[in-house]
Chain A
Amino acid sequence: MLLWLAISLMTGAAIMAVLWPLRPRVGDGVSDGQADLAVYRDQLAEIDRDRDAGLIGASESEAARTEVARRMLRVAQADAANRIATSSDRRRRLAAAVALVGVPLFAGGLYFALGSPEQGGQPLAARLDARPEQADVAILVRRVEDHLNANPDDGRGYEVIAPIYMRIGRFEDAARAWENAIRLNGSDARRQNGLGEALLAQSGGVVTAEAKAAFLAAQADDPKDPKARYFLGLAAEQDGRPQEAASIWSALAADTPADAPWRPMLDAALARVGAPTSGPSAADVAAAQQMSAEDRNAMVRGMVDRLSQRLAENGDDLDGWLRLMRAWNVLGEGGKARDAAAKARVQFAADTQALGRIDALARELGLGS
């Protein structure tokens, strides 16, 4: 509301800046020549002052006077009559109309194209002072971060923040937070699964060796843990061992109640590797079953191609490049994976940390560096 008031006032001020001086005024119609003559008269007076003060000699002052007088004569000849300013009602009305209509239209139009009138100011102090239920996510995260910077050994803090990092897409930070939670609070299935999922999200859905290690640790803690078992099955599938995946998932399915929320996902996975599903087949399962191996392959390839294209247009996405290297590798395209690694190295030539990660992944995938 306040913003609209300010906008109206400012627009009004801009219009008034045109309308106010357009009022007719007495004294319109003074020749510019008068202004010139005034300057010259002042100059003559100054020459006299200087002569009286002894700064210039009599003959010099006489010469200067002659010069000024010459200039005065020229002005008088040149524009005695023809430079008297006038004013016309037609032009005045036109200018007023332009200001009244043009200014709001132009400024309003441009502002709506560029501005974000629905957003208020967000000074940091006010955001930090807001009650927790009103604070935005970034501020909540910042508060926990500030707290963790001051108390780097508070394991509970890491556990609180890790899922939030996952939700706002900061997967690297989530993985680091889970690692810290594991370091400080000990390893358990929930934390290891969290770490595994964060790593998985970071690599764009590929179960990396690190992620697999996390899920294995989770399973070691709780052999029946469904999440770890599901992702270990996925790891087997991605490694090209559908049989092993099928057996892991079938065993999991046997332990899973029919109304478990992850049941449809599990069934879809089973259908993908061609194992019988025990539960009622969902529509997506059917769809996946109908899809031939070739089609599935083509679909995956399409996705990878799109990723590759996006990176070619805008290469400033390290995680994207890492995902692409993995994806080509999983699809058995070692050459393309190596090519992606090379491009990524060029892109991040100035960033040693990024180069380190690219090289590490290349080694892990056996691409040679």
Chain B
Amino acid sequence: MNPEIGHYALVLALAVAILQTVLPIWGARTNDAALMRVGPSLALAFCGFVALSFAVLVTAYVSSDFSVLNVVENSHSLKPLLYRITGTWGNHEGSMLLWALVLAIFGATVALFGGNLPARLKANVLGVQGSIGVAFTAFLLLTSNPFTRVIPAPAEGHDLNPVLQDIGLAIHPPLLYLGYVGFSVTFAFAVAALIDGRIDAAWARWVRPWALGAWGFLTLGIAMGSYWAYYELGWGGWWFWDPVENASLMPWLAGTALIHSAVVMEKRDALKVWTVLLAILAFSLSLLGTFLVRSGVLTSVHAFATDPTRGVFILCILVIFIGGSLTLFAARAGSLRQGGIFAPISREGALVLNNLLLTAAAAAVFVGTLYPLALEAVTGEKITVGPPYFNLTVGALMLPVTFAMPFGPLLAWKRGDLAGAAQRLMLAFLLGLLAAGVAAYAQGGGPALTPIGIGLAAFVVLGAVVDIAERAGIGRLPAATAFARFRGLPRAAHGAALAHAGVGICLLGIVAETSWNSETIIGAKVGDRFPVGGYELTLARLEPRTGPNYRELVGVFDISRGGASVGTIESSKRLFTARNMPTTEAGIRTFGFSQLYVSLGDELPGGGLAIRAYWKPLVTLIWIGAIIMALGGVFSLSDRRLRVGAPKPARKAVPAAKPVAAE
């Protein structure tokens, strides 16, 4: 297909987005039904044009159309088809187009399924979505045009960065963008509410599923990115507190707070203003993440200063959207009606605590990520804020969150009974204590934090079980009744328990891996044996192989345990010919939830290879936990009931704890 069709479609998308910003909001201001109706059809047209544009670019990649500069710079005709397709978004321009596409799809979804939304709310939401569309299509066309042509066309491209030639690129960025951009919908709802100065009943119903969906995708995206870095970079680490990772963690923390406060809002009509603010924050942090990764400011503050076109453009987008929405918030938040009231010890109170701690954690990550950049920009001094800072601050904030987590669901709405909840959690607590004891005994000394972490993880998982068991009445009621109740529980309750258990499982993986992993770094020749964490590895042979666009040296290792062979593991070093760039492909073998991880290093002067081998106990639980969390989100998302939180009626005789206003 002619690339110019994609180019024109993108230009039209900008034109349509401008109309989508102006007409529906104008209609909402003047109460004009016809103008408000234009919103959905324009959102669909925007989606159609961006999708067409994206399809044209993918076609150009698949057919190796080297008259398109972006294809020349990031593709190669010998690349396997999958990587020619994924290469479309493996670069700046293409990934921004993917961003715009995800935005357009979400806008179209609101347009299509928003039939039951009040007309004004829908018009304002689509208008705000349109303005985000304007910003990103203009950014694409003016600073990052993926359809720039080169005539005469070269006969071969420069190939994609080999690190990106991996299935991870097919999955990670789209998931991450689904998460980032999903928050644009909650943002649009928040700003729409502020523009109109009122929050409709339908507002919370709509914000909760969008927040949940975005959060679920972001969870999976972050987990996927972490696993990708784990096996592709060859260092055996799964989280580096790298600014790029932090950029995705910040919206995740804010989004986690948002899905919880949205529950309070939907069920109890409280915490409205706070939910609106969180919705704004979550998307602002998504935008900030995009800015950090896409402006080049991370690579070098100076490189950013010498070619600032893109960076300044994104910075303007940031200032307009974040500054604008916060200003609107400051001006209008007062006019939003306050919601229901509740006592400090209540389900709402627990969720407020969760919100405060999560936002504080997001703030800690924010400071740690941006402070070095700001310092370098102002004074030129280069500092790094490393894992110790993040482990201390985020860890210190996440510990109370996880400890309080099992209590929340056991408290009643409006006014809760902390002692009762603690009593019901006693079994879980004792078992957690037991797990901690066993861990301490097995470890025999070592840091005290490890048994505490193991115990906490067990407590959280068991707490989730207790929550479900309590609701179903398991142990109190006959088995058949309890099972019927278990099945009849709202899926949202199952979802919450599942997501909480996922946190515990993830925590278990993190603690086990960081405390008990063992590492062997050795120079080995063919035939050499060396031990790694209870296993013995033998370098059986080294063999060169040729891939479609790379050559590789593969090390084949025999694994044995106690003299018995338990299989082989292959690890390789690849050299991609077009860019003359090497990559490592770590060899990973999973035993239960633990993994054996082997990565090849450089050849040694005396013959043989440098080899790094790790034993990583329970490491897969980190990602399995994240997947379970996302699964919990899916469960909760599938709960399309209207969800009214049944409050515990105040007892007339006993004066209840004095209720406080929600905001």
What is the CA–CA distance of A110 and B567 in the complex, to the nearest angstrom? 61
Q: Given contacts A36-B202, A136-B153, is CB(A111)–CB(B7) below 8 Å?
A: yes
Inter-chain contacts of A2 with B (CB < 8 A): 2
A314 to chain B, nearest CB (A): 12
Q: Given contacts A60-B649, A142-B155, is CB(A14)–CB(B16) below 8 Å?
A: yes
- Per-position contact with B for A33-56: 1 when CB-CB < 8 Å, else 0? 001101110110011001001111
B236 to chain A, nearest CB (A): 27
A86 to chain B, nearest CB (A): 6
Which of B16, B30, B145 has the most A CB atoms < 10 Å from its CB?
Answer: B16
- Per-position contact with B for A217-259: 1 when CB-CB < 8 Å, else 0? 0000000000000000000000000000000000000000000
The verdict on B476 contacting chain A, using a C-beta distance below 8 Å, is no
Contact between chains at A141 and B67 (CB < 8 Å):
no
- Per-position contact with A for B119-159: 1 when CB-CB < 8 Å, else 0? 11100000000000000000001000101010111111000
Contact between chains at A86 and B31 (CB < 8 Å):
yes
- Which of these binds chain B: A15-23, A179-187, A267-275? A15-23
Q: Given contacts A64-B644, A67-B644, is CB(A86)–CB(B649) below 8 Å?
A: no
Which of A20, A46, A53, A64 has the most B CB atoms < 10 Å from its CB?
Answer: A64
The verdict on B601 contacting chain A, using a C-beta distance below 8 Å, is no
Contact between chains at A116 and B4 (CB < 8 Å):
yes
| CB proximity to A under 8 Å, residues B633-659 | 641-649
What is the CA–CA distance of A84 and B15 in the complex, to the nearest angstrom? 30
B138, closest chain A residue (CB): A110
Contact between chains at A71 and B19 (CB < 8 Å):
no
Contact partner, A28, options B5, B23, B34, B49, Cβ 8 Å = B34
- Which of these binds chain A: B295-303, B482-490, B518-526, B624-632? B482-490
| CB proximity to B under 8 Å, residues A135-164 | 136-139, 141-142
The verdict on B223 contacting chain A, using a C-beta distance below 8 Å, is no
What is the CA–CA distance of A136 and B48 in the complex, to the nearest angstrom? 35
The verdict on B63 contacting chain A, using a C-beta distance below 8 Å, is yes
What is the CA–CA distance of A120 and B1 in the complex, to the nearest angstrom? 9
| CB proximity to A under 8 Å, residues B586-601 | none
Q: Given contacts A36-B201, A60-B648, is CB(A7)–CB(B8) below 8 Å?
A: yes
Contact between chains at A18 and B42 (CB < 8 Å):
yes
Contact partner, A115, options B11, B151, B155, B648, Cβ 8 Å = B11
Inter-chain contacts of A62 with B (CB < 8 A): 649
Inter-chain contacts of B42 with A (CB < 8 A): 17-18
Contact between chains at A95 and B38 (CB < 8 Å):
yes
What is the CA–CA distance of A3 and B2 in the complex, to the nearest angstrom? 8
Inter-chain contacts of B200 with A (CB < 8 A): 32, 35-36
- Per-position contact with B for A76-95: 1 when CB-CB < 8 Å, else 0? 00000001111110011001
Contact partner, A63, options B60, B63, B154, B646, Cβ 8 Å = B646
What is the CA–CA distance of A13 and B15 in the complex, to the nearest angstrom? 12
The verdict on B463 contacting chain A, using a C-beta distance below 8 Å, is no
The verdict on B474 contacting chain A, using a C-beta distance below 8 Å, is no
A27 to chain B, nearest CB (A): 8
The verdict on B617 contacting chain A, using a C-beta distance below 8 Å, is no
Inter-chain contacts of B643 with A (CB < 8 A): 46
Q: Given contacts A29-B33, A141-B155, is CB(A63)–CB(B66) below 8 Å?
A: no
The verdict on A205 contacting chain B, using a C-beta distance below 8 Å, is no
Inter-chain contacts of B551 with A (CB < 8 A): none
A120 to chain B, nearest CB (A): 6
B452 to chain A, nearest CB (A): 37
Contact between chains at B31 and A115 (CB < 8 Å):
no
The verdict on B612 contacting chain A, using a C-beta distance below 8 Å, is no
Contact between chains at A86 and B8 (CB < 8 Å):
no
Contact between chains at A32 and B121 (CB < 8 Å):
yes
Q: Given contacts A21-B41, A64-B647, is CB(A138)–CB(B153) below 8 Å?
A: yes
Inter-chain contacts of B641 with A (CB < 8 A): 46
The verdict on A214 contacting chain B, using a C-beta distance below 8 Å, is no
Inter-chain contacts of A50 with B (CB < 8 A): 646
Contact partner, B269, options A6, A10, A67, A110, Cβ 8 Å = A67
What is the CA–CA distance of A102 and B19 in the complex, to the nearest angstrom? 10
B597 to chain A, nearest CB (A): 31
Q: Given contacts A24-B34, A85-B119, is CB(A115)–CB(B4) below 8 Å?
A: yes
Q: Given contacts A47-B644, A110-B11, A115-B147, is CB(A123)–CB(B23) below 8 Å?
A: no
Contact between chains at A122 and B65 (CB < 8 Å):
yes
What is the CA–CA distance of A59 and B71 in the complex, to the nearest angstrom? 66
Contact between chains at A136 and B152 (CB < 8 Å):
yes
The verdict on A11 contacting chain B, using a C-beta distance below 8 Å, is yes
Inter-chain contacts of B35 with A (CB < 8 A): 22, 87, 91-92, 95
Inter-chain contacts of A75 with B (CB < 8 A): 201
Contact between chains at B645 and A115 (CB < 8 Å):
no
What is the CA–CA distance of A138 and B646 in the complex, to the nearest angstrom? 73
What is the CA–CA distance of A40 and B269 in the complex, to the nearest angstrom? 12
The verdict on B3 contacting chain A, using a C-beta distance below 8 Å, is yes
The verdict on B40 contacting chain A, using a C-beta distance below 8 Å, is yes
Contact between chains at A10 and B49 (CB < 8 Å):
yes
Contact between chains at A121 and B1 (CB < 8 Å):
yes
A5 to chain B, nearest CB (A): 10
Contact between chains at B647 and A60 (CB < 8 Å):
yes
Contact between chains at A17 and B41 (CB < 8 Å):
yes
Contact partner, B32, options A18, A38, A87, Cβ 8 Å = A87
Contact between chains at A114 and B141 (CB < 8 Å):
yes
Contact between chains at A64 and B7 (CB < 8 Å):
no
Which of B1, B14, B40, B155 has the most A CB atoms < 10 Å from its CB?
Answer: B155
Q: Given contacts A21-B34, A63-B647, is CB(A107)–CB(B202) below 8 Å?
A: no
Inter-chain contacts of B649 with A (CB < 8 A): 59-60, 62-63
Contact between chains at A86 and B66 (CB < 8 Å):
no
Contact between chains at B642 and A124 (CB < 8 Å):
no
The verdict on B12 contacting chain A, using a C-beta distance below 8 Å, is yes
Q: Given contacts A14-B12, A35-B116, A124-B66, is CB(A60)–CB(B646) below 8 Å?
A: yes
The verdict on B340 contacting chain A, using a C-beta distance below 8 Å, is yes
Contact between chains at B31 and A85 (CB < 8 Å):
yes
B154, closest chain A residue (CB): A138
What is the CA–CA distance of A73 and B64 in the complex, to the nearest angstrom? 64
- Per-position contact with B for A167-211: 1 when CB-CB < 8 Å, else 0? 000000000000000000000000000000000000000000000
What is the CA–CA distance of A68 and B267 in the complex, to the nearest angstrom? 10
Contact between chains at B38 and A115 (CB < 8 Å):
no
Contact between chains at B7 and A115 (CB < 8 Å):
yes
Contact between chains at A21 and B644 (CB < 8 Å):
no
> What are 5 residue pairs bridging A and B, where the CB atoms are less than 8 Å apart in the complex?
A17-B41, A18-B23, A22-B38, A25-B34, A64-B645
Q: 7 nearest interchain CB pairs?
A: A142-B155, A123-B63, A60-B646, A17-B45, A124-B64, A21-B37, A32-B118
Q: Using CB atoms and an 8 Å cutoff, list the residues of chain B in contact with chain A.
A: 1-5, 7-9, 11-12, 14-16, 18-19, 23, 26-27, 30-38, 40-42, 44-45, 48-49, 52, 60, 63-67, 77, 116-121, 141, 145, 147, 149, 151-156, 200-202, 205, 269, 337, 340, 485, 488-490, 641-649
11 more A-B residue pairs beyond the given contacts A55-B485, A85-B36, A119-B149, with a C-beta to C-beta distance below 8 A = A17-B38, A18-B41, A21-B37, A28-B34, A39-B205, A75-B201, A87-B33, A111-B8, A115-B11, A121-B67, A139-B155
